[in-house]
Structure 1
Amino acid sequence: MTGKTSTHPAPADSGAHAGEEFILEVGPVAHGGHCVARHQGRVIFVRHGIPGEKVRVRLTDAGEKAKFWRADVVEVLEASPDRVEHFWRAADSGRAWGAGHPPVGGAEFGHITLARQRRLKAEVLNEQLQRLAGIDGPVAGWSGDAVEAAGEAADGGTGLGWRTRASFSVTTGGKLGMHAHRSTHIVPVRGMPLATDAVNALNLWDIDLQGIERVEVAAPANGSRPLVLLAPGGTTPKRLSRIAAQLPDDVSVAALDPETEEVQQLRGRTWVQETAVGHEYRVTGAGFWQIHRDAPGALVGAVTEFLHGGGFLEPGSVVADLYAGAGLFTAVLADAVGETGSVLSVEGATGSSRDARKNLHAAPQVEIEQGRVERVLRQKPRNFDALVLDPPRAGAGKDVVRQLVAAAPRAIAYVSCDPASFARDVGYFQQEGWELAGLRGFDLYPHTHHLETVALLTPRG
C-alpha cells in the first residue's frame, strides 16, 4: 500500500568505528540518497549533506573490513547556498543526533531547496544511464538538467502533504514511530509532514498500539474512506478490536499478515476506492498504488503521450500492460484501443490481480492474467503493437527483456521508480538492438532521493 519502497528496514552491522566523528568535504551526489566523500582514502557515503559543503559527520556504519563506510551530517561548517532549515525535526540529522538518536528515514533531502533536489535527481539519473547503459548524449524529451515537478499547485511549492499512503512502525512502548535509515531504532513521531491531511487527521500517535508491529495507512486523494492496516506482533483478536475502536468511525480497519500480506476485516472495507484518469479503481489491502496524489495522472499522461505520439497506440492496437497492479494503465489502454483492439494485463500478486478483474470487468477487450510476466508471455505468445512495462524496484531483468524483444512490439513504454535498475535494463535492451527514444523524469517523492522515470524504447532504426 505504500508504493514500491520497502517497509522492512535492514539492520546494519554498525562496526567498530560507529559513533566516531570527523570533518569532511562533501562530494558528488550518488544513487541512494547520499553523497560521496573520502577520508584517508576510504569512501564514505554521507547522508544529509549537499555537494561542496564542509561538514562534521558521525559514522553510522563503519566496519573495519568494510569497502566503504556510512555517515550522517551532525554539523554544517560551510553551508551550500541551497541548504534550508529542515521542515521536520524528527528527520533533521543535526537535531536528531543532538538529542541522542538518529533521524527518521524518508525525508533525507528535506534540508535542500526543491530546485536543487530536482537537479540532484537528474544528476543521479544521468550518471546511472552513462555508467550502466553507456548513454551520455541527448535523449528526446529529457533535458538532463532537472526532473519535473508534480502537484506544485496543490502543495504551494513546498513539496509537503503529497503522500496518500504511509507506513509506520511501533515502539516497544506502543507509540507510533518510524525507523531510522538502515537501523532497527524506531523514533516516535507525532505527525508526518509529507502525508496528506487525511493521513495526519487519524492521529495515530494518540493511540496505544502495543502488540502491533507495523501500521499501514491509505487515504485516497478523492476523499473516499481511508483504510488502516494493523500488522500484529503477537497480539490477540480482542486487542486488535480494541485498537480499531479508537479510530474514527468512518475509517476502515483490517489486520495485515506481515508474511502473506493477506488482510482480515476488523471494521468497514478491506480495500480503498481510488480515482484517476477518469476511472475508478478498487485497491485491496497492501496492494500497490502510487503514493503521490498526482502520480497516476502524471505517469499515465507521459506513457500515453509517448505511445500516441509515435503512432503505437490507436483503435485496434494489440497491447499489453505488464506488472499491471490494479489496472491503472490497463484501463487507459483499453480506452485507446477500443473494442476492436485487445489488452493483455499481467500481474503477479493475487490480490492485485483480483482487483484488476473487478476494475476492468466491463472492458471486453481486456484479458487479465495472474502470474509471473515471463511465464504468461511464454504461454500466450502474440505479436504486440506496444507494451507498457512498470516493474517493481528490482526492474525487469535480462530474461524478461529478451522475452519482450522476442514478442516484437513496435514500442515499449517503461515506467521505473529506480534509476539503477532502469539504466541496467536499458543496457539490456540496447544489447538486443533497441534504443532509448524518449525519456522524462518526475519528482513524485519530494524531499526524498527517489524519482520516477517514463521512457520510450523502440527497435533501433
Structure 2
Amino acid sequence: MPARQARTALDWTDRVLELQIGPIAHGGHCVARHEGRVVFVRHALPGERVRAVVTEDGGGSFCRAEAIGVLDAHPGRVEPPCPWARAGGCGGCDLQHATPATQRALKTEVVREQLRRLAGLDSDVTVTELPGGALGWRSRVRLAVDAEGRPGLRAHRSHDVLPIADCPIAPAGLLEPVLADGFPPGTEFEVARDGDGRRHVDGRPGPVVARAAGREWQLSPGVFWQVHPALADVLAETVAEWATAPRGGTAWDLYGGVGLFAAVLADQVGREGRVTVVESSRRAVEDGRAALADLPQIGWRVGKVERLLGGLGARPDVVVADPPRKGLGRTMVDALAAAAPGRVIHIACDPAALARDVALFGERGYRLAELRAFDAFPMTHHVECIAALTRL
C-alpha cells in the first residue's frame, strides 16, 4: 500500500476510543495504546479508563485525543473549576481535573522521568507548592480577540479564540472589566497586575511595579518578569543560597533580564567584585540599570548571549543562566564549560530541556549537585526547575 494510502487508512480523527490510561507524559497528556498505536490523551489521569475522541491524526505511530467520559476515575480527579478546561476547550490549563496535590505528584514523575531518560540520573526531587494556592496566581494574561471584537483565550493547539467571562487562575477582579470592552478584531493584548495591585492593559497606565530580593523594579511594557507572584523571590533566595560567589569574585548573569539574580550576586561579590549581565532586550537592560544604579559592580551587555559570551573577560567563579524554554543546547554548554566556572546555576521552565543540558554538562566534567522544582504554574503541565552544577 502506498504511504499516502496507509496514512489515510490510519486516520482516526473524530473516532471515539475506549482507553486504559497509562503514565503521565511531558506536555500535559497521558499515554495510552490502542490497536498498536500510541494515543496522547488530554484531560485523563494515569490508571483511568476513559472514552476519548481523537482530535488529531497524522497517520503515523501516534495520534492525539481528548477524554470525553470517565469510566473508572483516578482518586485524585475533581471537577475542573473552569468550564473551558475540557475537550475542545482552552489550551492554557491541562490539569484542572486533578487535585493540586495530584498535579504536583504527576509533575514530579515527569521531572524525574526526563532526568532518567535524557541525563541517565535518578533523582528524588519533588515538585513543591508555592504560596498562594492553585487559583488566582497568574499575574499576567495574554488575550486574543475574535472576529467580533470579543477578547478570549486560544483553544488547545488552535488559533481559534474562545470568548470567556473570567479565568480562575488569574487574580479575582483582574479580567472582568477588560473583557467587557470592545477591541479591534484579530489583535492580541496583555493584562497584568503589578506589585502594587494595579491593573495594566498592554503596559498602561505607566510602568509595572515588581518587587523581589528586597528591591523594586519599574518595568517597561513587555519586559519579562515571572508570572507567579512568589516565584521571583523563591528563585532569588535559591540563587543566593547556592551561588556562594566569593568576595571580590566574578559572576555572570546570562539571559539576565532586569538583573534579579545580578542583584543577589552583587551582594555576594561586593563592590570590589564584578557581575556582568547579558540580556538581548534593551528595554530590560534600561529598566535593570535604573533599578540597580546603586550597585556599580554590575556591568550590562545588550545582545545575544551566544555572540557576547566569548568577550566577557576573566573566568567567572559562578554563572547563573536562565535561558529560553529550549534550554542552553550543545553550543552554549560547550562555551560555558570552556569558561570553566566553578559553579553553574541553571534555571529552566522545561524539564526536558534541563535534562538535556545536565547531560551535556556531565560530558564536560560537571555534576548535578542540587535540584529543586516548583509548581509555579498550577493547573498547567509546566514546572520551574533550578539546578546547581559543579565542576568535578
Smaller-chain TM-score bracket: over 0.9
Could you tell me which amino acid in structure 2 is paired with residue 87 of structure 1?
P
* Partner of residue 303, structure 1: 239
User: 2-side partners of 1:132 and 1:46: how far apart?
Assistant: 23
Matched ranges for 1:1-400 at <5 A = 16-64=11-59, 66-93=60-87, 102-136=88-122, 138=123, 143-144=124-125, 146-151=126-131, 154-155=132-133, 159-197=134-172, 199-200=174-175, 203-223=177-197, 225-229=198-202, 253=204, 268-269=205-206, 271-307=207-243, 312-400=244-332
C-alpha distance 355-67 of structure 1, shift in aligned 2 (>3 A): farther
Quick one: higher RCO (CA 8 Å, sep 6+), 1 or 2? 1
Could you tell me which amino acid in structure 1 is paired with residue 116 of structure 2?
Q
Aligned residues: 383
Could you tell me which amino acid in structure 1 is paired with residue 345 of structure 2?
A
* Partner of residue 343, structure 2: 411
User: 2-side partners of 1:19 and 1:185: how far apart?
Assistant: 18
Corresponding residue SS for 1:354: helix
Q: Runs of 5+ in structure 2 lacking a partner?
A: 1-9
User: 2-side partners of 1:162 and 1:42: how far apart?
Assistant: 38
Could you tell me which amino acid in structure 2 is paired with residue 148 of structure 1?
T
User: 1-side partners of 2:85 and 2:238: how far apart?
Assistant: 32
C-alpha distance 294-198 of structure 1, shift in aligned 2 (>3 A): farther
Q: Deviations over 1:196-252 (max 9, x none)?
A: 135235x222111233511211211332x43212xxxxxxxxxxxxxxxxxxxxxx5
The farther-off stretch of 353-362 and 44-53 is 353-362
How far has the Cα of 1:392 moved from its partner? 0.7
Q: In the alignment, is the contact (CA less than 8 A) between 2:150 and 2:185 conserved in 1?
A: no
Q: Deviations over 1:16-37 (max 9, x none)?
A: 5322211101110110000111
User: 2-side partners of 1:356 and 1:402: how far apart?
Assistant: 28
* Partner of residue 354, structure 2: 422
Q: In the alignment, is the contact (CA less than 8 A) between 1:381 and 1:407 conserved in 2?
A: no
* Partner of residue 244, structure 1: none
Corresponding residue SS for 1:43: strand
Instruction: Find runs of 4+ consecutive structure 1 residues off by over 4 angstroms.
Output: none
TM-score by length of 1: 0.80
Corresponding residue SS for 1:375: helix
Could you tell me which amino acid in structure 2 is paired with residue 124 of structure 1?
V
User: 1-side partners of 2:73 and 2:256: how far apart?
Assistant: 44
Q: Deviations over 1:164-207 (max 9, x none)?
A: 11111111111111111111222111101101135235x22211
Q: In the alignment, is the contact (CA less than 8 A) between 1:58 and 1:73 conserved in 2?
A: yes
Corresponding position: 1:401 with 2:333: yes
How far has the Cα of 1:273 moved from its partner? 1.6
Corresponding residue SS for 2:22: coil
Corresponding residue SS for 1:74: strand
Q: In the alignment, is the contact (CA less than 8 A) between 2:53 and 2:68 conserved in 1?
A: yes
* Partner of residue 3, structure 2: none
Corresponding position: 1:436 with 2:368: yes
How far has the Cα of 1:128 moved from its partner? 0.7
Corresponding residue SS for 2:233: helix
How far has the Cα of 1:334 moved from its partner? 1.3
User: 2-side partners of 1:127 and 1:61: how far apart?
Assistant: 26
Corresponding residue SS for 1:415: strand
How far has the Cα of 1:90 moved from its partner? 1.4
Q: In the alignment, is the contact (CA less than 8 A) between 1:437 and 1:457 conserved in 2?
A: yes
Q: In the alignment, is the contact (CA less than 8 A) between 2:146 and 2:185 conserved in 1?
A: no
Q: What is the RMSD computed on CA atoms of the aligned residues?
A: 1.5
Q: In the alignment, is the contact (CA less than 8 A) between 2:24 and 2:31 conserved in 1?
A: yes
Q: In the alignment, is the contact (CA less than 8 A) between 2:149 and 2:185 conserved in 1?
A: yes
Could you tell me which amino acid in structure 2 is paired with residue 17 of structure 1?
W
TM-score by length of 2: 0.94
Could you tell me which amino acid in structure 1 is paired with residue 382 of structure 2?
H
